[in-house]
Each structure stands twice: as structure tokens, then as C-alpha cells.
Amino acid sequence: MIQRSEAQTGRQGCHTSESVIDSEPAPAAYRREAAEYVQDQYVVDGFTNGVSIPSFTPPDFTVKEAFGEIQLPLLREEPFAYELTLSGAARVAKYQGNVGTVWSYNAGVDWAPIRDIRFRGNYSRAVRAPNVSETGFPLVPNFAPGFQDPCNVTRIAASALRTTNCTNAVGAGNLPMTSQSEPPILRSPRPPRSETSI
């Protein structure tokens, strides 16, 4: 079975697509992911505050997966074991790029000492791999407002060290009280890694 889904939203033209070949009932799957982001020309021409995501088309990446599960009944309608069943499942996925091969799995026990009482326990490990946007997200300019001059007369006396440093750097004069903005550049982690929870 081959599935393909596409979505496009807004004037900014965020476009993602996914192709899946699922070989059920065989326990395997193949997935190819692609994305494209086209920024609005109004933003590109500089008519906004300058905080915008540039147009980008990250490289496609593929995922190959294999998975399986088992349910093993051990006891049935025995003394103190109306039912005792063990279960387990595992999935291995190979991601193209920095993520590589990751495993997720779970194991559980289902015990009913009598018909009306049941206990269940489960241990599992889940993995989240970065999506196609995270693997190719571009540098994005931003701003962080609210930075104020530490040498201003209202702030210079916060510590003796600050007084000394400010006096040596700018003299004893009082600088005007202003609030500045820093221009940080944001980006996704390089290289993106998978996240694991247990």
C-alpha cells in the first residue's frame, strides 16, 4: 500500500509531503519525508519587523522500519492464576542522516489471580526523531528587547565592582537611560538528535 499526503497552509506557502509504503501484514515500512517553506514576498521585501523565517527546502530523508510484537499466555484458569500473560513489542527504525538507527520497545505482564481482579505492568522505551523541518531549519534573525545600560546612574551602584568597571570604561559621567535590543540568530540544533523517554 502506498500513501501520500500533502498540506499547504497560508500565504507563506508551508508545504510538506510524506510518502509511505506499508507492507502490511508484513512487519515493515518505508517512509520518505520532504518539506518546503516559501516566505511571503511582503516579508522578503522588509515590510515587517525583520523577524521572519527565510524560504528553505531541506533535503528529503527516508526512514526504514521493522517491527514485531508477541503475546504469550502462560497460565489460564489455574489456582491464583485465572490468567497470566506476557507481552512484548519492538521497533527498529533507520533514519537517513545524523539520527541513524534507533530502537523502541515495551514489555508487559497481565496477571489476574481471580476472575474479578487484574494487575497489569508495562515497561516501555519511546523514541522521537527530528522531523524534516528540524533537520534543515535555516538561521532566523530575531530580537530580544529590554536590555538596559548597567552603567546608568540608577544601576551603577548595584555593586562596587560594577561602579569601578563602569567608571574605568566610560568615565564618571551619567549615560542616558535607554533600553536596547540584542539581535540573536536562532536555529535548530546541529546536528539534530533523537529524543528518548522511558
Indicate whether 143 pLDDT > 70: no
Mean residue pLDDT across the chain:
76
Shared domain for 138 and 52, answered yes or no, is yes
Q: What are phi and psi of 167, to 5 degrees?
A: -65, -40
Shared domain for 34 and 91, answered yes or no, is yes
Shared domain for 56 and 111, answered yes or no, is yes
Q: For the chain, what is the domain count?
A: 2
- pLDDT classification of 151: cutoffs 50, 70, 90: confident
Domain of 187 in residue numbering reads as 2-143+183-197
Question: What pTM, to 2 d.p., does this model score?
Answer: 0.58
Indicate whether 13 pLDDT > 50: no
Shared domain for 116 and 46, answered yes or no, is yes
Shared domain for 89 and 10, answered yes or no, is yes
- pLDDT classification of 15: cutoffs 50, 70, 90: very low
Mean pLDDT along residues 96-108:
88
Distance of alpha carbon 152 from the chain centroid = 41
Beta strands 14-22 and 28-37 are antiparallel
Shared domain for 51 and 84, answered yes or no, is yes
Helix (H) or strand (E) run with residue 74 in it: strand 61-78
- pLDDT classification of 11: cutoffs 50, 70, 90: very low
- pLDDT classification of 8: cutoffs 50, 70, 90: very low
Shared domain for 136 and 55, answered yes or no, is yes
Indicate whether 7 pLDDT > 70: no
Shared domain for 6 and 27, answered yes or no, is yes
**Cα 113–Cα 114–Cα 118 angle in degrees, nearest 5:** 65
Shared domain for 46 and 133, answered yes or no, is yes
Distance between CA atoms of residues 138 and 63, nearest Å: 22
